[in-house]
Structure 1
Amino acid sequence: MGRTILAEESLQDKLSALAKVGSFQIGLLIGQNAEEKDFIAHIAPTPTLDEGDLSSEDEDDPSLAKEVVRSKAPDSLYKIVDAVMAQHTRQVIRMLPGGLDIIGIYVVTTQGDFNSSANVSKLRSVLVAIHRTASKILMETAESRTEKIILHVCTQSLKTLCKTMEVSPTAPGLLSNADIKFQRGGVKWHEILYSYNINLKFWLPIDKSPQSLYKMVLTFIKQWVDSVTESLILIDSEFPNDDDLLDAEADEKPAKKKGGGRGVMDLTSQKIFRAEILDSCVPLIPFTKKDESSGSVCLMGAVAGLAFVHSKVTLHEAKAAVLVDLVRTVVARWEMHCDSLIEEPPSHLMGPIIHEAPRRVFLKGLPVSFCDYLFPGDTKADACQSANELLNIKVRDEHVDDSVETFK
C-alpha cells in the first residue's frame, strides 16, 4: 500500500471545479510530510513568467530566458518548462512558514496526456527541478523528502487520482499508487511563534574572488547556519524530551460523534506555542583579517519567525520546523537583496552604505499563515498582490500583519 495523504474537503471541491473548466493547469502542492501521513494545506497554480522574473543567480544563463519565453500558456505536460516551475518554487518557498514545504504538484489534464510514457519522464524532470530549488534555500539544514506527490485531476472523469514518485538520482522515476483522503476538519495545524536577534558581520577579501558577492556571502551565511542549527530550543520556556509530542493532548482519542457526514473528524482547536532559540553566541571565524579586507557586509535586526506543524508532531520535528524557518527567511532576504541591487544604479558614495533589507509580513486569515517581504516604500497592497499572483490567495489589507519585525 502506498502513502496516505490528508487534505481538507474544500480542496476536493476546488479540484473538481478545475476539472469541470477543462483547461490544462499545473501548480504546486504546499503541505507537510510526516512519517505516517502527508498533509496538503494549499495548492498554488503556476503562473506564466517573463524574463523579468528571473533571479540574479539565473540572469547570466541565456538558455533560461529562452525557455521562459517559450513557456507561455502551456496546454499539455509536454510543453511545461522546468525553469518556470523552478522559478515559481523559488518564489513560493520564501512565502512559506517553517513546517510547510512544496511536497509535489497537481496537474489538471486529460487521462491520455497524464498516462503518456513520455510525459511520465516529463513529470520526473519537473519534480527534480522543484526539489533542487526548494532544497537549495535550506543550506543542508534539513533534507526535503525525495518522494513527491502528484495529484492528477482528470478533465474527462472529473476524478482526482493520487500518485507518488521518487526523485532521488538513483530512483527509476516510476509512478506509485497513493491514497488521498479528503476530510472535513481533517488537518489541524499548531502555530509556533519565535523571535531571533541576528547580528552577523562578514569581511570581504581584498583579492578579487572568482565568486560573486551573492555566492561569497552565502558561503559566510552557511557558517552561521552550521552554528545556529546546533542551538538549544525551548518550547513555552521548557526543554522537553525530543520524542514527546508537542501537544500532549494529541494522544487522547476524541470522542465519537453521532451522525453521518463524509469524512468528518472531531478535532480540538488550533494551539499556539512559543519557541526560543538559544544559540552559542560564538563569533564566526572570519574569512580574512580586518586589515586584509576590502569591506564588510553586516546583517542585523530582529527576525520574526513562524512555523506550522500538524497536531501529532514530536518536539524534535517542531524544533526542526523552527530552524528551517529561520534559515529560509535569512537566506531569502539575502537573495532578494541581491536581486534588488541589479535594478539599482551604481553608488558613488564613500564609506558604509546601509540597505534596509525587506521586512517580513504575515498573511493571516487562513488555516495556515503565509508570509511576504516588503522593501522600503512597499505597502500592504504589494503583499496582497504577491499572494494573489503566486499563491492564488485573495488577502485583504487588514489581514496583512506588517508590525512584527524590524530588519536592517
Structure 2
Amino acid sequence: MVRTVYSPEYCLQYLEQYASKEIFVIGLILGQTTNVRENVIHLARTPEEKTSENGSESNYSMDKVETVKTLLDVSEAWVADHAKHVTRMLPGGMFVQGVFVTSDEDIFEDPNCFSKVRSILNYTYKALGSNSYMFGNSPYSNDRLILHMSTSTKVLTCKSIEINAPNKNTVIKPVDWKFLSKPQQWQRLDCYYEFDEVYPVIVKKSGISVKQQFQQILESAHKTIESSVMFIDGELKDGSESLDQFTKKKKTKNNSKQTQNETPKSMHVSLFVPFENALPETVEYLECDGSIHFSGVVSSSVFMYPKATVSETIAAVKQDIIRSLASRFTMHCDALIDDNLLPEEKVCFNEPPRRVLVPVGSLHLCDYLFPGEAPAEALLSVRELLDLQITEADVICDVETPADTSEFDALDRDASSEELLATPQEASQFMYITGICFAMLVLIVSIIIHYYDSIVQVFSKVVSKS
C-alpha cells in the first residue's frame, strides 16, 4: 500500500518559489502522523550555514554566512541543529518528518546525492534522539520523507526510506503527496498544568551543575505526568474513541447545529495524578545542601487531526508539556554564565523563558521569550527557523504571564540578615542539637517514672521522722 501524505496547497507554492529561481535549497518537513492519516503542516528552509572564523561549525548567532550551492556541500550537523531548534517550536504530536530539496540534480538517481540525503536523515535522527525529553522522533514510524522538486522540470517527487537501515538493505518506498485546496481542519486542545514542587539539592564530591539538577527534575516531572489521568472537557474518555466522535456526541447532546466550515471549539484538558502515584516509593532522609522550589504553570496548546484517537491525543498533550520544559531548561542553561548550582547568595531566583504562540497556517507553533524580551524577538526566530514572515501583532504573548517576583523579593530582604537564614550546615546542626535535648528530656522523665515508688517511700520516711 502506497503511503499518502496530505499538505496545504501553499506548500506547493513555497517549493515553486525556490524552484523558479533555480537555486539549491534544503529544508525540513514538519507534520503529524496518526494511525489514520499523515499531515504535513509546513516546510521550513534550513538557514544558510554559518561558521566561525576558523571554519568550524557554530550556532545560529554567528554572522558569517557560507552559501551552499549543492547538496554534497551540506553539513549534516547543520541540518540536525536546525531540526533541534525547530522541534522546540513544535507542539506535542508534531515532528520533523523528513527533508525537502530543490535542485537541478535528480537526487534519487544520483547515487552520491541519495547517499548524502540518507546521511543527513540518519544524523538528524540521532541528534533528535539524544534528548529523550524533547520527543524529537516520531514513535509511529522510522520512515522519513524525502521530497524533491527539480529546478529545471519543476517535477515533484516524494519517497521515503527507513532510518538507520544498512545501506545494502535500504528500501526506497514511493509516497503519494496530495495538496489540499481547502485548509486542513484541526482540533485544538488547551491545558494549563501547574507545578509546585520542592527538590533537594545534594552536592556530591564530583559536584552538580544546574543542567544536571534540571535533568533530575525533568525525570521526576516525566514520571508524574506519564502516570496522570487525562480528562477532556471534564470527562474521562475511552482511548480508542476518536476526537470527532467526542464532538459529535456533544453536539447531539446539546441539540446544536454546526456548519461544516465552522472551526471546532477548543477542548479543555485536565491532568490528574492518582494519589498513590504522587507518593514516593521509598522515603529517604538525606542531608541536603539546598533546595529548588520549582513553581509555575505550563501552557499547552496541542492540535490534532479530528479523527485521531484519544490515546494519541493524550500522548501528544503529555509530550507537549515535557517538551516545553526540556526546551526552556536547555535555553536557560545555555544562557547561564555560571553553571554552579549553589551560588554565593543564600536565595537565588531564576526565571526560564516563557512560551508564546506564533501562527503557521490554521494552527499555532510556539517560541520562547526571556524576561525583558519583546515579541519582536520571536519574529527573528520565526523568520530564520521557519522561514515565515509574520508581524509583531501576530505573536500571542498572553498564554503565560511573567513570573511574580514579590515572594522572592521578600526572601531576598530576609537573606540580608544572617540570623534569619541559616546555612544548610547550620540548619543540620540546629536539628541535631534539638534532637539531643529532646532525648535527654525523655530519659529524665523515664527515670522519674521508673523510680517513682522508691522516691515516694523515701520522701514519706523523711516526712515521718521530721
Q: Is contact 2:107-2:148 (8 Å) kept?
A: no
1:355 aligns with 2:350: yes
Q: 2:321 aligns with which of 323, 326, 337?
A: 326
Q: 1:231 aligns with which of 225, 228, 240?
A: 228
Q: Is contact 1:192-1:275 (8 Å) kept?
A: yes
Deviation at 1:135, TM superposition (A): 3.7
Partner of 1:197: helix, strand, or coil? Answer: strand
**Residues 357 and 289 from structure 1, CA distance in 2 versus in 1: closer, same or farther, beyond 3 angstroms?**
farther
Deviation at 1:230, TM superposition (A): 1.8
Q: C-alpha separation between the residues in 2 aligned to 1:394 and 1:343?
A: 36
Deviation at 1:72, TM superposition (A): 2.4
Which position in structure 2 is the counterpart of 1:269? 263
**Residues 2 and 374 from structure 1, CA distance in 2 versus in 1: closer, same or farther, beyond 3 angstroms?**
same
Supply the RMSD in Å over aligned alpha carbons.
3.2
Deviation at 1:317, TM superposition (A): 0.9
State the one-letter code of the partner of 2:66.
Answer: K
1:82 aligns with 2:76: yes
State the one-letter code of the partner of 1:139.
Answer: Y
1:384 aligns with 2:379: yes
Q: Is contact 1:137-1:328 (8 Å) kept?
A: no
Deviation at 1:2, TM superposition (A): 2.5
Which position in structure 2 is the counterpart of 1:200? 197
TM-score calculated relative to the size of structure 1: 0.84
Which position in structure 1 is the counterpart of 2:173? 176
Which position in structure 1 is the counterpart of 2:97? 103
Q: Is contact 1:148-1:167 (8 Å) kept?
A: yes
TM-score calculated relative to the size of structure 2: 0.74
Deviation at 1:145, TM superposition (A): 3.0
State the one-letter code of the partner of 1:386.
Answer: S
Q: C-alpha separation between the residues in 2 aligned to 1:308 and 1:381?
A: 25
Q: C-alpha separation between the residues in 2 aligned to 1:115 and 1:251?
A: 48
**Residues 270 and 129 from structure 1, CA distance in 2 versus in 1: closer, same or farther, beyond 3 angstroms?**
farther
Q: C-alpha separation between the residues in 1 aligned to 2:10 and 2:281?
A: 51
**Residues 351 and 192 from structure 1, CA distance in 2 versus in 1: closer, same or farther, beyond 3 angstroms?**
same
Which position in structure 2 is the counterpart of 1:59? none
Q: C-alpha separation between the residues in 1 aligned to 2:185 and 2:147?
A: 21
Q: C-alpha separation between the residues in 2 aligned to 1:287 and 1:221?
A: 20
Q: 1:145 aligns with which of 129, 141, 145?
A: 141
Q: C-alpha separation between the residues in 1 aligned to 2:113 and 2:158?
A: 16
Question: Which structure has more RCO (C-alpha within 8 Å, separation ≥ 6)?
Answer: 1
1:310 aligns with 2:305: yes
State the one-letter code of the partner of 1:7.
Answer: S
Range moving further from structure 2, 115-124 or 313-322: 115-124
Q: C-alpha separation between the residues in 2 aligned to 1:341 and 1:405?
A: 22
Which position in structure 2 is the counterpart of 1:22? 22
Q: Is contact 1:303-1:407 (8 Å) kept?
A: no
Q: How many equivalent residue pairs?
A: 385
Identify, as 1 or 2, the structure richer in helix. Answer: 2
Which position in structure 2 is the counterpart of 1:10? 10
Q: Is contact 1:148-1:164 (8 Å) kept?
A: yes
Which position in structure 2 is the counterpart of 1:218? 215
State the one-letter code of the partner of 2:159.
Answer: K
Q: Is contact 1:4-1:180 (8 Å) kept?
A: yes
Deviation at 1:70, TM superposition (A): 11
Could you list the per-position Cα deviations for residues 36-74 of structure 1 after superposition, in whole angstroms to 9, with x for gaps in the alignment?
43111001111135468xxxxxxxxx97549x9998222
Q: C-alpha separation between the residues in 2 aligned to 1:201 and 1:2?
A: 51
**Residues 65 and 404 from structure 1, CA distance in 2 versus in 1: closer, same or farther, beyond 3 angstroms?**
closer
Q: C-alpha separation between the residues in 1 aligned to 2:328 and 2:262?
A: 36
Structure 1 unaligned regions, length at least 5 = 53-61, 253-265
**Residues 128 and 284 from structure 1, CA distance in 2 versus in 1: closer, same or farther, beyond 3 angstroms?**
farther
**Residues 209 and 348 from structure 1, CA distance in 2 versus in 1: closer, same or farther, beyond 3 angstroms?**
closer
Deviation at 1:156, TM superposition (A): 1.3
**Residues 210 and 350 from structure 1, CA distance in 2 versus in 1: closer, same or farther, beyond 3 angstroms?**
closer
Could you list the per-position Cα deviations for residues 140-189 of structure 1 after superposition, in whole angstroms to 9, with x for gaps in the alignment?
87726311111101111102111111104568333221110112126221
**Residues 98 and 177 from structure 1, CA distance in 2 versus in 1: closer, same or farther, beyond 3 angstroms?**
same
Q: C-alpha separation between the residues in 2 aligned to 1:69 and 1:116?
A: 33
Q: C-alpha separation between the residues in 2 aligned to 1:284 and 1:85?
A: 41
Q: C-alpha separation between the residues in 2 aligned to 1:132 and 1:139?
A: 14
State the one-letter code of the partner of 2:142.
Answer: T
Partner of 2:389: helix, strand, or coil? Answer: coil
State the one-letter code of the partner of 1:272.
Answer: S
Q: C-alpha separation between the residues in 1 aligned to 2:229 and 2:341?
A: 42
Q: C-alpha separation between the residues in 2 aligned to 1:380 and 1:70?
A: 26
Structure 2 unaligned regions, length at least 5 = 250-259, 404-466
State the one-letter code of the partner of 1:19.
Answer: A
Higher alpha-carbon Rg: 2
Q: C-alpha separation between the residues in 1 aligned to 2:387 and 2:134?
A: 29
Which position in structure 1 is the counterpart of 2:110? 116
Identity of aligned residues (%): 26
Q: Is contact 1:300-1:407 (8 Å) kept?
A: no
Which position in structure 1 is the counterpart of 2:44? 44
Q: C-alpha separation between the residues in 2 aligned to 1:274 and 1:100?
A: 19
Q: Is contact 1:29-1:102 (8 Å) kept?
A: yes
Deviation at 1:100, TM superposition (A): 1.5
State the one-letter code of the partner of 2:71.
Answer: L
Which position in structure 2 is the counterpart of 1:56? none
1:160 aligns with 2:156: yes
Range moving further from structure 2, 281-290 or 83-92: 281-290
